Structure 1
């Protein structure tokens, strides 16, 4: 099975940076709903830092309010 294509700094339409986006895809996540409820759990992934978690939290909250 091949690697997922590099889609750059975007994850499910959210610009979080190439390292964080790649780390999430490599861990098997494909969209915001796939992520754990506690996004701080993602900090254990190499490439995902506090800024990416903050951006993902904001994106999740925005999408839930639709």
Structure 2
């Protein structure tokens, strides 16, 4: 399940930047809470946000980290 996150919920979250982020800021930020994990582009913090269930995030994350290495 992916969806967008409302402005109030977006502001209430604590966003963390990937440890793999580049000096140019090309990275993904994530925030967890309320049984979901949200992801956004660090260059566009007011832009779209993808929201995943924790189970879906756990399934997607290994594939993404393999691509970074």
TM-score, with length taken from structure 2: 0.32
Rg larger for: 2
